[in-house]
A and B are shown apart, each in its own frame.
Chain A
Amino acid sequence: MSVELKVNGRAVTVDVEPRTTLLDCVRDELGLKGTHAGCEHGVCGACTVLLDGQPTRSCLMFAVQADGYEITTIEGVAPQAGELDVIQDAFCEAHGLQCGFCTSGMILAARSLLEREASPTVEDIREAISGNICRCTGYGQIIEAIQLAAERMRGQNAPASPSLSRTEAVR
C-alpha cells in the first residue's frame, strides 16, 4: 500500500505492506535508524516517536495508520546537522546515557513533557518516562538531565534584563 507520511517536516511516500509497523518503516524504508527496535511489542519504549507532538510507540502502530500526522523522530530534534538540541546536550552533560539504546525514546518523551510543562517536578518527569526502560543508568541521571534541560529552556525563554542588571550591580 502506498502511504504518504510527514516525517521531520518532510513529506515522503512509502510503499509498504499493511503489516509494516511505523517503527520498521522509519528504520528500513526511510533509513532513520535513530529510532530503536527493542522489544517490538510495546514494552520498552525504545521505539518512541512523536505523533503531533505526543509520544507514541512506533512498534504499536502500523505505517498505514500514520498518514496525516506530523511524525518526529530523534533525527528531527536537532536544529541542524552536527548540532544537538538543548535536551540532547543536557543528556550528554548530565551523563543521562550509557549504551544509548533507550536514549532517543527518552529524549522524545522528555521533549513532549517539556513542551507541556516548563517546570516539571521529579514526579512529572518519572511519569513522563515511565513507559521507557533503561538497562544502564538506573534512571537517576536521566531525571537530572531532564531537569537540567528544563532549567536551560526556561532560561532561554526568560527576559534577559534581570540577570543583566544583576551583573551590573556586581560590577
Chain B
Amino acid sequence: MKPASFRYVRPNSVAEVCEVLAAEPDARIIAGGQTLTPMLAMRLARPSVLVDIHRIGELIGISRVDGAVVIRSATRQVDALHSAIIDEDLPLLAKALPWVGHPPTRTRGTVGGSIANADPSAEIGLVAVTLDAEIVLADGEDEEVVLAEDFFIGPMLTVASPSACLTEVRFPRRPDGRLGVGFQEISSRKSDFAFASAAAQLVLDADGACSELRVGVGGVGDVPLKLDAEALCGTRLADAEIRDFAVAAMADVETVGDLHASEAYRRRAGAALIAKAIIEARQGALNTGSSGGRNVG
C-alpha cells in the first residue's frame, strides 16, 4: 500500500520542531523512518504533517558529559555502532547494537527513534532501562527528563506527549573496576524482532564477589523490564545461583503470547537468556583480571 497524503516540513532547530508540533496536533516526527514509514505505508499512522528531524545538527552526536554518555536523538544507529565513546564508556550498549536491525536499517534508523517507538523487543530500550538511562524531551519551552523505566508504558506507548520532541538519551558511564557485560537474544533470524532478550552488567570485587549487578529483560512483556538483582550481589555468582535467580525473576513477569512464541515459552526463554547474559558478563569480568581493567568480555 501507499501512504495517505501528508505535508512535509524540515525544520532547522528543536525550537522550530516544537512550534510545528504545538500548532499541529496530528503532526508526527520522522527521524530514520524505519518504523514509521511502514506504518504510513500500511496506513496504521496517518499524520497530517511529517516533521523531519534527521538533519538537525543539534540533534546529532555522541559525547561525554559529566558521568554520562549523551546520545543525541537523531544519531544514526550505524554511527553509534562505530562510536569509540560507546565502545569505551558504554560496553553494554556496544554489545547490544549489532543486534539492532539489519545493515540497511541501521544506516537510517536512529537511537532516539528506537526509544520513541517503544517496541518492547527493541535492544536500545532494553539497555536504557537496564542502565537507568535518562530520556530528555523538549516540549515548547520546557525540558523534561524521564527515567527510562518510567518512559515506556506499553507496546509502542510512552509517556511523551504528542507535542514533545525527544532530544537526547543520557546513559550513565560504565562503573570502574572489573566490569563485564552480557547481551543475549533469541529471534527467528538474527536481527529480526526478539522473542526474548536479556542484558546484564556487573562489577566483581578483588575477591571475585559481585559488588554491582544490573539485569534487564526485553521482548517478553509490554515493556522492557529492569529486574531487582539485589539477591545476587555479594555472591560469587555460581551458575546454579544465577539460574535460580533467573527462573524466580521471570516467575513474576507478565509475559505475552503471540503467533511466534507462547507466554510459557517467553517465560522459559527469558529465564534462560537472563542466566546466559549474567554468566557472559561474569566471564567477561573474570577475564579482565586485576581491578580497573577496561577490557570487557
Contact A40–B1 (Cβ < 8 Å): yes
Contact A42–B34 (Cβ < 8 Å): yes
Residues from chain B with a CB closer than 8 A to the CB of A86 are none
Of A61-69, A96-104, A156-164, the stretch lying at the interface with chain B is: A61-69
Which chain B residues (200-224) contact chain A, with CB distance < 8 Å? none
Instruction: Specify the chain A residue showing the minimal Cβ separation from B109.
Output: A60
Contact B41–A40 (Cβ < 8 Å): yes
Quote the shortest CB–CB distance from A129 to chain B (angstroms): 9
Quote the shortest CB–CB distance from B17 to chain A (angstroms): 15
3 smallest beta-carbon distances between A and B, as pairs:
A131-B102, A18-B8, A41-B38
Question: Do most interface residues of chain B lie in helix, strand or loop, or is the interface mixed?
Answer: loop
Residues from chain A with a CB closer than 8 A to the CB of B103 are 55, 109, 112, 127-128, 130-131
Measured between alpha carbons, how far is A51 from B102 in the docked complex, in Å?
15
Contact A57–B78 (Cβ < 8 Å): no
Tally of B interface residues using CB under 8 Å: 31
How many cross-chain pairs have Cβ atoms below 8 Å apart between A and B? 86
Q: Does residue B33 face the partner (Cβ distance < 8 Å to A)? A: yes
Measured between alpha carbons, how far is A126 from B249 in the docked complex, in Å?
35
Q: Does residue A150 face the partner (Cβ distance < 8 Å to B)? A: no
- Checking A21, A57, A62, A65 against B105 with a beta-carbon cut-off of 8 angstroms, the contacting residue is A57
Question: Do most interface residues of chain A lie in helix, strand or loop, or is the interface mixed?
Answer: mixed
Q: Does residue B268 face the partner (Cβ distance < 8 Å to A)? A: no
Q: Does residue B191 face the partner (Cβ distance < 8 Å to A)? A: yes
Contact A42–B38 (Cβ < 8 Å): yes
Contact A65–B41 (Cβ < 8 Å): no
- Checking B37, B52, B104, B190 against A55 with a beta-carbon cut-off of 8 angstroms, the contacting residue is B104
Quote the shortest CB–CB distance from A127 to chain B (angstroms): 7
Contact A54–B54 (Cβ < 8 Å): no
Contact with B along A39-61 (1 / 0, CB 8 A): 01111010010010011110111
Q: Counting chain A CB atoms within 10 Å of each CB, which of B7, B52, B101, B103 scores highest?
A: B103
- Checking B3, B52, B107 against A19 with a beta-carbon cut-off of 8 angstroms, the contacting residue is B3
Residues from chain A with a CB closer than 8 A to the CB of B40 are 19
Contact with A along B1-36 (1 / 0, CB 8 A): 111111110100000000000000000001001100
Q: Does residue B50 face the partner (Cβ distance < 8 Å to A)? A: yes
- Given A1-B8, A54-B78, A131-B191: A61 and B108 within 8 A (CB)? yes
A-B contact pairs, 6 of them (CB 8 A): A54-B78, A56-B108, A60-B34, A61-B33, A128-B103, A130-B191
Which chain A residues (117-132) contact chain B, with CB distance < 8 Å? 127-128, 130-131
Instruction: Specify the chain A residue showing the minimal Cβ separation from B35.
Output: A42
Q: Does residue A115 face the partner (Cβ distance < 8 Å to B)? A: no
Measured between alpha carbons, how far is A65 from B36 in the docked complex, in Å?
14
